[in-house]
Amino acid sequence: MPEPVKTRPYRATARAVQTARTRGTILAAALRLFTSRGYAGTTVRQIADEAGVHPDTLYASVGRKPEIMRALVEAALSGQAGPIEATERDYVRRIRSSERATEMIDVYAAAITAIQERMAPVTAALRGAAESDASCAALMHEISERRAANMLLFAADLRATGDLRDDLTDQEIADIVWSMNAAEYWELLVVRRGWTPLRFRDWLADAWRRTLLA
């Protein structure tokens, strides 16, 4: 009897690589157009043309405009092609394995700087989209609240080291960090005042150490 035909793994791998490449091309095109023309002024057809794909391919790879915006946000936050749970991110694991608050703060300041380099233009596009699209407004609120919840976890990790000031509650610590890790803070210092990312990182770590630690 003839042997059954076996599916070659490399074919599936090649398809997966091509799918990821197409998705990345679409997201990059969408961000360029959302930034230059605005969310409301950009059509799916324009994104497809910019990416060099058929609209049906765009819908199959990412989805409608709100799904494209969400994909841009999640990719900017994770630094990967798709969303990653906060607890699974490398810098969070490093924070959780640290024993001193100073080390946790240094790790997080570096992580936030890397995230904001990716996230700042996406946030600007999302802010504009939220003015005309209810789903984008809901996404913006969701991301803000998600950050706030994660900052409470960060505050608890800092508290466990015994290095924090006694006169600040975990909620106050979370709010302070939440306000300073926002894209708006990055925009003020890096975009408007011309700070380098390195200077921003060092300032953020120093400010948190001076403000939060005993």
Residue pair 40/134 in contact (Cβ under 8 Å)? The answer is: no
Q: What is the pLDDT of residues 18-31, one digit of tens each?
A: 888 899 999 999 99
pLDDT number for residue 85: 78
Residue pair 82/27 in contact (Cβ under 8 Å)? The answer is: no
**Same domain as 101, residue 25:** no
**Same domain as 50, residue 87:** no
Q: Is residue 42 part of a domain?
A: yes
> Domain total for the chain?
2
pLDDT number for residue 200: 98
pLDDT number for residue 81: 66
How far is the C-alpha of 150 from the C-alpha of 157, rounded, in Å? 11
Question: Is the pLDDT at 171 greater than 80, yes or no?
Answer: yes
**Same domain as 93, residue 129:** yes
Question: Is the pLDDT at 4 greater than 70, yes or no?
Answer: no
**Same domain as 157, residue 99:** yes
Mean pLDDT to the nearest integer, 122-130: 92
Q: What is the pLDDT of residues 150-169, one digit of tens each?
A: 999 999 999 999 999 999 99
pLDDT number for residue 5: 52
Q: Is residue 77 part of a domain?
A: no
Q: What is the pLDDT of residues 73-95, one digit of tens each?
A: 998 988 876 677 777 889 999 99
Question: Is the pLDDT at 11 greater than 70, yes or no?
Answer: no
Question: Is the pLDDT at 116 greater than 90, yes or no?
Answer: yes
Q: Is residue 181 part of a domain?
A: yes
Q: Is residue 76 part of a domain?
A: no
Q: Is residue 68 part of a domain?
A: no
State the pTM of this model: 0.84
Question: Is the pLDDT at 7 greater than 80, yes or no?
Answer: no
**Same domain as 98, residue 16:** no
Residue 34 domain boundaries: 9-63
How far is the C-alpha of 10 from the C-alpha of 63, rounded, in Å? 27
- Scanning the chain, the segments in alpha helix (DSSP H) are 9-37, 44-51, 55-61, 65-78, 90-97, 101-130, 134-160, 170-180, 183-186, 197-212
Question: Is the pLDDT at 204 greater than 90, yes or no?
Answer: yes
On average, the pLDDT of the chain sits at: 91
Can you give the CATH number for the domain in which 15 is found?
1.10.10.60
**Same domain as 135, residue 56:** no
